[in-house]
Structure 1
Amino acid sequence: MTTVEPTAGVVADLVRGTLAAHKSLFLATAGSDGPWVGGVYFAETGEFTLNLVLEDRGRTLAAVRENPVVSVVVSTGSPMQPFLQAQALAEVVPPEDDERVRALLVEKVPEAAPFLSAPVTAVRLTVRTWRATDIPNGWLPGRELPGPRHP
């Protein structure tokens, strides 16, 4: 059996399609309280920028403030469906961008609206490189899609 290596365009299409098909992701952080993983709603602006909100008093935001390097998994939870993994840089958005992040989130995930009335902080993730895995199509190991700053 011959395997054809996917082009960068095919990998980018899988990344875009997977992001569009999911409303939430798993966000892994590491702060002074140790590693932590939580699920969050997100809205993407392009393949390499993810927008979300985190609880003001939560362990995840505290860890992001201590160590902005995070990891994400976008997946149904089944390894037999395409999934994405990445390392990203998290930043609390400046006040002038807060409403935009919230609007993007509610546009993609209307059911997230109640969370926005709670004490939450808008955060933006900049993905360095995506690893897209699609086992049924032979992408094991996954294929990488470097971000604009990582050729």
Structure 2
Amino acid sequence: MTMVDTTSEVEGLVRDTLAAHQSFFLATTSEAGPWVNGAYFAETGLFTLSLVLEQRGRTLAAIRRNPLVSVIISTGSPADPFLQAQATATVVTGAEADEVRRVLLAKVPQAEPFLSAPIEAVTLKVTAWRATDIPNGWLPGRDLVDIPDARTHA
């Protein structure tokens, strides 16, 4: 198998897994310690996720202090493919926040009640995905790294 074939396979699994899930777990840390929160998300690119968080919640407070987060997108069973990543979280406002709300609602209509609550829009910039598919022999998982210059010049 060539490197291109492997990258293509990993990219396909990442795309399929993102499309198949509406929620994920988001891990943060601050002086109060580590914290994990579930949230709805929408992918706006292979390496960008959009979500909303409660304004007065522990997760958003942690992101404001330390924007480095981790995510896992999974059914909860290690027998199913799952994704893990570190990302940088950014609280967005104005037109960017409107776009986060739009893409989130388009993917996850049941998120609508959250959009009328006191929330903040957040984007996550993933630097690399770790895709694990144990039944197909991907243990350890395979990495898909975001290389912006390579995509721009391809």
TM-score computed with the length of structure 1 as normaliser: 0.94
User: Partners of 1:29 and 1:46 in 2: how far apart?
Assistant: 22
Compute the RMSD of aligned alpha carbons. 1.7
2:90 corresponds to 1:128: no
User: Partners of 1:85 and 1:150 in 2: how far apart?
Assistant: 23
Inter-CA distance 150–134: structure 2 relative to 1 (3 Å threshold): farther
TM-score computed with the length of structure 2 as normaliser: 0.92
Indicate the SS of the match to 1:57.
Answer: coil
Q: Greater helix share, 1 or 2? A: 2
Indicate the SS of the match to 2:45.
Answer: coil
User: Partners of 1:35 and 1:144 in 2: how far apart?
Assistant: 25
Deviation sequence 1:70-97 (CA, Å, 0-9, x none): 0000000000000000000000013221
Equivalent residue letter for 1:87: Q
Partner of 1:62: 61
User: Partners of 1:149 and 1:108 in 2: how far apart?
Assistant: 25
Inter-CA distance 54–114: structure 2 relative to 1 (3 Å threshold): same
5 Å matches for 1:100-139? 100-139=99-138
2:8 corresponds to 1:9: yes
User: Partners of 1:50 and 1:20 in 2: how far apart?
Assistant: 12
Q: Determine if contact 1:11/1:144 at 8 Å carries over to the other structure.
A: yes
Q: Determine if contact 1:129/1:150 at 8 Å carries over to the other structure.
A: no
User: Partners of 2:45 and 2:24 in 1: how far apart?
Assistant: 16
User: Partners of 1:136 and 1:36 in 2: how far apart?
Assistant: 30
Identical-pair percentage: 62
5 Å matches for 1:1-150? 7-149=6-148
